[in-house]
Amino acid sequence: MTRGFLPAQAAGAKRPHRAADPSLGSGLPALVRTALRLAPLTACGAWLSGATVMVSDDDVRLDLGLLEQARAERADATAADGTEWDVVRARPGNSDDIDWSLRRARLGVAGTYDQDYRFNLTLDADLIDVGGYQETQDVGIYYAWLARDFSTGEAVQSLNAGLNDAFFNRADSASPYFLFPSERASAALMTVRGIGVGYHLTTPDADFGIDLRQSLDPDKPVENASNADGFFYSVRLEFSPLDGAKPAYQESYAGAAGEGILLTADYGVDDRDQSLPGYTIHRDGYGFEGLGHFDGLSVLLEARYLNLDQASNGGGAGPSSENHQRVLIVQAGYATQFGQMVFEECGRWSEINFDAPAGSPPPNYNGGTSNPQPDSDWGDSGKQYDLGLNLYLKGHANKLQLAYSRWTASSGQARAGIWRLQQQLFF
């Protein structure tokens, strides 16, 4: 059925996939007990993993999609000054014995009209109760887009408009196929989901896309009322150097037979963001990735960069500044089949540099001063190591993931050790 939660990939034609340090802390026993509680839910949910809910007539086909990720987390962290630090709320204090949340909850309808038109409407309630009991349970629109396909031989060109992911920095958009419960730190460096238009070209061995979307300014303040926002625009190429069909973009292939290599490069600009009073912000970012699939082995290498120019626009603010951010990532997983189940051991190394100005206080585990968020999947500037074990009951449609992250700051005494247990249903 149509995968309604991967709009950037869905923007092109459907295509075949080639077969397809430190102590671990005290949180493991509690999470093992939690795993035992979740196991019956995983088993009961297995029927969903093969479900296809579809309505069709001569002109219209509708497919129902679901992505649900339930998470239990145990963290132990200290701040830059050596005191206790709450990684969920990004503030001084202790994390709870176990922090429960619904990391992602999305329900959508994707479909086709008259064969050449595709559309997607997805609702989301991500990060439910991440800060505590009934802290947030809001529902919003995640995707709402329409695309028109033009086929010529094996090539398909597509024009899309609406609320969608830009075909740029896909660290966040392929969340059902993550190797770990947590997403890569490169997602901090300008992942874009906004209203606009895009062009996509799909061939058997490559994808090429151009996007033009609204600026990343969420709410222009009155101090900048006389200054106009610009646009976000980007270009991206994905290419397979091997013979055969281009493999799908995903962090793990869950032990599927086959092999493939995918090389990517992209560049994006957010021009004239007026969201900060007295300043105009210009961002330009680029990245390179290499993904490899060799039967049970899944490998990803990534280097991503973001430059921020914060220029005073005469609104009474202080001096201008520049910031240069970088994230380097190496990760791999190896999957082995046991009967109907697949087990995958995985590891990841991340070097994170958010380039704080000279004289800034040492960093804490908070996603970075430019990217603070509740329950961040990555720390501020420093190094992060992740080890994990995945149990696939029916591929990515029904999987249980256990992972440990160890982050140490680039300066100061801040560090964090975090266990995450996450169950996913996806169809």
Q: How many Å apart are CA 404 and CA 406, to the nearest integer?
A: 7
Q: What backbone phi and psi angles, to 5 degrees, belong to 396?
A: -75, -10
Residue 374 · residue 366 · CB < 8 Å = no
Q: How many Å apart are CA 415 and CA 411, to the nearest integer?
A: 10
Q: Does 419 reside within a domain? A: yes
Q: Does 1 reside within a domain? A: no
Q: Does 373 reside within a domain? A: yes
Q: Does 397 reside within a domain? A: yes
Which tokens is 238 given?
């994905």
Structural domain count, the chain = 1
Q: Does 15 reside within a domain? A: yes
Q: Does 317 reside within a domain? A: yes
Q: How many Å apart are CA 308 and CA 44, to the nearest integer?
A: 48
Q: How many Å apart are CA 160 and CA 191, to the nearest integer?
A: 18
In this predicted structure, what is the pLDDT of residue 316?
59
C-alpha pair distances (Å), 380 with each of 188, 302, 336, 364: 10, 18, 34, 6
Domain span at 348? 7-426
Q: Does 2 reside within a domain? A: no
pTM for this predicted structure: 0.85
In this predicted structure, what is the pLDDT of residue 53?
66
Mean pLDDT by 10 residues, the chain (427 residues): 37 34 39 42 35 70 92 93 89 90 92 91 88 78 96 94 96 92 94 95 95 85 80 96 88 93 97 83 94 96 94 72 92 95 97 82 78 78 97 95 96 94 95
Residue 349 · residue 370 · CB < 8 Å = no
CATH number of the domain where residue 39 is located: 2.40.160.10
Q: Does 330 reside within a domain? A: yes
In this predicted structure, what is the pLDDT of residue 307?
93
Q: Are strands 91-92 and 99-113 parallel, antiparallel or unpaired?
A: unpaired
Q: Are strands 140-152 and 99-113 parallel, antiparallel or unpaired?
A: unpaired
